[in-house]
Amino acid sequence: MEIVIVPDGAAVAAHAAAAMANVIRGTERTVIGVATGSSPLGTYEALAEMVRAGELDMTDVSAFALDEYVGLDPEHPESYHSVIGKTVADQLGMDPARVHVPNGFANNFSDACDDYERAIEAAGGIDIQLLGIGANGHIGFNEPASSFASRTRLKTLAPQTRADNARFFNSIDEVPMYSVTQGLGTILDARRLLLVAQGEAKADAVAAMIEGPVASLCPASALQLHRFATVIIDEAAASKLKLRDYYDHVQHHRALAPA
């Protein structure tokens, strides 16, 4: 795992956007995986600046969102359909037909989830998956005890996740109880993983992900199994890492290492 520790959220966004832009510029018809939550918003803004400056073209890029609430009208401002539409498709000048979000309103969720897996496959797989991390270590909506082999499926949200996400709704009662999320196995199939985290509230989850055992108790520890996983975090999110100085040492010497 590549661990990059930078001073603050602005630097996280700048580094993550640069990494994504590199992949987008270097791949034909890139397929990106996109996350909701506050963590990646700065990255989307930094990418949008590149698009506005004419340094990046997203018109041929496809996107697949990690997850969606079940039972929220797609037009609800907090549905991930709306959030991804605004923060990714519109802001980055993407073709809306190429931006996919799991169906939170399906008649048959099992079929809808299989369709989503097939759509990712038909697009050629995800070149780079952007991720945030929940305070309980979830990625997407893969809550603790999710199987590392899981595929896109319906999940019951953990009480902590509903409480954390209540800030986007009038009350916790309005937060859906269920979600549809790409599985950990789906996420691990992406060719590269890029996780961003800021702030002290994420420090425990970040330490468990990087330095804890690979265990379903911390779903994000699945990143330890991926060949090309990069974690970009600020000082506050890095504050509980035991090998903090070592990660800086590695970053410092990386540029000088033989090819």
3-state secondary structure 224-251: HHCCCEEEEEECCCCCCCCCHHHHHHHH
C-alpha–C-alpha distance, residues 14 and 20, integer Å: 10
Task: Please say whether the dihedral angle defined by the alpha carbons of residues 76, 187, 16 and 163, taken in this order, is positive or negative.
Answer: positive
Footprint of ligand GLP on 3-42 (CB under 6 A): 35-39
248 is an active site residue: no
CA distance 19 to 46: 11
Q: At closest approach, how far in Å is the CB of 49 from ligand GLP?
A: 20
Task: Determine if residue 192 is left, alpha or beta; phi over 0 gives left, psi from -120 to 50 gives alpha, anything else beta.
Answer: beta
138: annotated active-site residue:
yes
The binder of ligand GLP chosen from 9, 102, 104, 132 (CB under 6 A): 132
**Inter-residue contact 66 to 182 (CB < 8 Å):** yes
User: Considering CB under 6 A, how many residues would be counted as binding ligand GLP?
Assistant: 14
253: annotated active-site residue: no
Q: Does 134 bind ligand GLP (CB under 6 A)?
A: yes
Supply the minimum distance, in Å, between the C-beta of residue 258 and ligand GLP.
36
Site string (162-201) toward ligand GLP, x via CB under 6 A: ---x------------------------------------
Query: Is residue 142 part of the contact set for ligand GLP (CB under 6 A)?
Result: no
- Residue among 139, 184, 178, 172 at smallest CA distance from 158: 178
Q: Which residue of the set 68, 127, 143, 164 is catalytic?
A: 143
| Minimum CB distance to ligand GLP, residue 143 (Å) | 9
